[in-house]
């Protein structure tokens, strides 16, 4: 099984960025957790981060035929991007949405998720452990 973890804008700033909301773990810590989870699960996991919506759309399109599952934190594009929603629908790869913070308890503009309309599960408010939970979910269901 091959999974792809996609992170949107500002996720590369983890640890520096609003630690009261997103925690003290850095992006490098997140990549280490993904690596550890892939070793434990015995599956290949690639990762991609971009601050650019089109680059995320390109990466989702390139995943077609290459990956069995996608874990995606679209970050701020969660609340605006029909393009990312349409790309996920286009490739039709099982996907889980992750949010480090509990978006439900935040501003009104964070209450809509366009990519979440495609994703079969959303994990929020679990910190970076949410990515591990998403990987385990996809492996148990499709691995
Ligand atoms: C986020 C929540 C989004 O609302 C925000 O724009 C982010 C990160 C999260 O992981 O909690 O950049 O997706």
C-alpha to C-alpha distance for 136 and 143, rounded to whole angstroms: 9
Q: Sheet containing 44-49: give its strands across.
A: 44-49, 2-7, 69-73, 95-99, 121-124
Give catalytic status of residue 52 as yes or no. no
Give catalytic status of residue 27 as yes or no. no
Out of 67, 77, 99, 131, pick the active-site residue. Answer: 99
pLDDT score recorded for residue 2: 98
State what percent of residues in the chain have pLDDT above 70.
Answer: 100
Q: pTM of the predicted model, to two decimals?
A: 0.98
> What's the longest Cα–Cα distance across the chain?
39
Strands 69-73 vs 95-99: parallel, antiparallel or unpaired: parallel
pLDDT confidence tier of residue 119, bands split at 50, 70 and 90: very high
């Amino acid at each position: 099984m091959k999974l792809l973890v996609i992170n949107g804008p500002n996720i590369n700033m983890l640890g520096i960025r609003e630690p009261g909301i997103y925690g003290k773990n850095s992006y490098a810590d997140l990549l280490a957790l993904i690596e550890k989870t892939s070793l434990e699960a015995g599956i290949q996991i690639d990762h991609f981060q971009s601050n650019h919506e089109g680059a995320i759309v390109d990466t989702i399109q390139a995943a077609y035929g290459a990956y069995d599952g996608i874990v995606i934190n679209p970050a701020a594009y969660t609340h605006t991007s029909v393009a990312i929603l349409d790309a996920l629908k286009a490739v039709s790869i099982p996907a889980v949405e992750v949010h480090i913070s509990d978006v439900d308890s935040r501003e009104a503009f964070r209450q809509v998720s366009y990519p979440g309309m495609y994703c079969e599960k959303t994990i929020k408010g679990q910190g970076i452990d949410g990515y591990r939970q998403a990987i385990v979910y996809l492996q148990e269901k499709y691995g």
